[in-house]
Amino acid sequence: MDPENIIVTSSSAGTGFQPPPGSVPDASRSGAVVAVRGSVVDIRFDAHLPAINSVLRAGEDGRIVIEVMAQRDAHQVRGIALTPTQGLARGMAVRDTGAPLQAPVGRPILSRMFDVFGNTIDREAAPSDVQWRSVHRAPPPLTRRSTKSEIFETGIKVIDVLAPLERGGKAGLFGGAGVGKTVLLTEMIHNMVGQQKGVSIFCGIGERSREGEELHREMKAAGVLPNMVMVFGQMNEPPGARFRVGHAALTMAEYFRDDEHRDVLLLIDNIFRFIQAGAEVSGLLGQMPSRLGYQPTMGTELAGLEERIANTDAGAITSIQAVYVPADDFTDPAAVHTFSHLSASIVLSRKRASEGLFPAVDPLQSSSKMATPGIVGARHYALAQEIRRTLAQYAQLKDIIAMLGLEQLSAQDRGVVDRARRLERFLTQPFFTTEQFSGLQGKLVSLEDALDGCERILGDEFKDYPESALYMIGKVDEAKVEVKAAAAPASKSEGPPPAPVAPAADAHEP
């Protein structure tokens, strides 16, 4: 029987390992442990050899779950434990469930939080009337793929203008630790549910338990939990569980795309942890490591996950993936392999984060395959190129300013510096998910408003306004409101109207 097509209907979560109809009888499914080396378990079966990816259970009440990774000979298999192996000993009985690892799918899983086995971890009752599907599924055939390229608006200015995302595509958030990857992901969840009316699935691979609890609480407070599913494989879980949690989340996403024809936003935090878990599994199985200690099968494993994320005639799975970059080194094999699957790369800069420019997206390193005149339109493309050109010229002039001072620049170069600094501040934005920390009300900015603001700044309409007026606002007209509000008290006390506001004193400093 094809494990992909196994669907078992169950009335409660946590029983997803029921053997499929017509599987081998109970007596022939029993085996015995031959060897245990950490998470690697060798099991002997005399009557029936389990298939690759089959789930085996051992211990009291079958609490130890093992996935078959290799068939060593006609009677022995080698598996990776997806749960801790304490108490597992040689000679202990093992039962073949006859089915691969399965994930719950259906409407009842909305607003819930699951582990890799489909058990609820939000301290609420298990959902009823769910189906169970194998997490090992083939990518959609090319005949079902959509050939249209559409923009996926996020409501975040710097992304929509400079690195537009593709509906049904894959975008990567690249950055080291602490530059704002998770904050950007949670903001996109908020905007997706509020604006697109779709389903969001958050997959935490190698997450801290604190982050999962905070995300659940914040999404519940924001009112977006009813259209969201969370799946976690946490840091303290064995590598086998962390390696499969991405497949479980993707199986849930495929249900909403293929069965309910809905658009799905799949957020993965962090895809590097998936590669890392694969490297641990590979090492435990005794495979020779490849470059920099990664597994030799890294490209195949990553492609098996990424190719299932696709835009079909029924709906689309749009994926946004946080990618931890080890030591901020973008030549690391994990970052290089991930780049090849993405339609947009959003690079987060530690330098911009230290300057308080949030979201800390580097406009010169970030890119998108969608940023072409045929897809985004001639006006958007020309504006994005002009913004990049202005910011690149400013980056080159910074060294001259640092050595010789702003006075040595020509009038034309000073204009470039003024426009670039105002653009940098306009491309910042207050987030809904950080209101309690920043004290600023979140802003959702349409693509048209973002383009309009950039165009007017490049046209020098705001050259007499202080840079601070453009910092952390939504639409560009909010800068005028701020300046008028600041000037109002002065006009009441002094009598005559104030003169046009001059640029801030620090406007020309590098």
Give whole-number Cα distances, 256 to 83, 319, 363, 481, in Å.
Answer: 28, 14, 34, 43
Dihedral sign for Cα 49, 52, 55, 58, please.
positive
* Alpha-carbon radius of gyration of the chain: 27
Q: Are 501 and 462 in contact (CB under 8 A)?
A: no
CA distance 335 to 323: 7
User: Which burial class, exposed, middle or buried, applies to 149 when counting CB atoms under 10 A from its CB (0-12, 13-18, 19+)?
Assistant: middle
Catalytic residue chosen out of the listed positions 57, 137, 208, 350 = 208
Tell me whether residue 480 is one of the annotated catalytic residues.
Answer: no
In 3-state terms, the chain is what percent helix, strand and coil (to 5)? Answer: 40, 20, 40
By CB atoms closer than 10 A (0-12, 13-18, 19+), residue 253 is: buried
Coil, strand or helix: which one is 365? coil
Residues with Cβ within 8 Å of residue 142, at least 6 apart in sequence: none
Q: Which residue out of 78, 181, 244, 352 is catalytically annotated?
A: 181
Bridge pairing between strands 7-10 and 130-134? antiparallel
**Phi-psi label, residue 365: left if phi above 0, alpha if psi -120 to 50, beta otherwise:** alpha
492 included as an active-site residue: no
Label residue 200 left, alpha or beta by phi (over 0 means left) and psi (-120 to 50 means alpha). beta
Burial 82-92 (b: 16+ CB within 10 A, else e): bbebeebeeeb
Considering the candidates 187, 207, 218, 306, report the single residue annotated as catalytic: 207
Non-local (6+) Cβ contacts of 264 within 8 A are: 198, 199, 200, 201, 253, 256, 257, 315, 316, 317, 318
Q: For residue 105, give Cα distances in angstroms to 252, 260, 424.
A: 5, 11, 43
352 is catalytic: no
Q: In whole angstroms, what is the distance from residue 19 CA to residue 156 CA?
A: 47
- Residue 297, judged by CB atoms within 10 A of its CB (0-12, 13-18, 19+), counts as middle
* 8 A C-beta contact, residue 264 and residue 201: yes
Please say whether the beta carbons of 72 and 90 come within 8 A. Answer: no
Which candidate, 175, 263, 226, 218, places its Cα nearest to that of 431? Answer: 218
DSSP string, 252-310: HHHHHHHTS---EEEEEE-HHHHHHHHHHHHHHTTPPP-GGG--TTHHHHHHHHHTT--
What gap in Å lies between CA 324 and CA 273, rounded to an integer?
A: 8
Specify whether the CB–CB gap between 486 and 449 falls below 8 A: no
Indicate which residues carry an active-site annotation. 181, 207-208
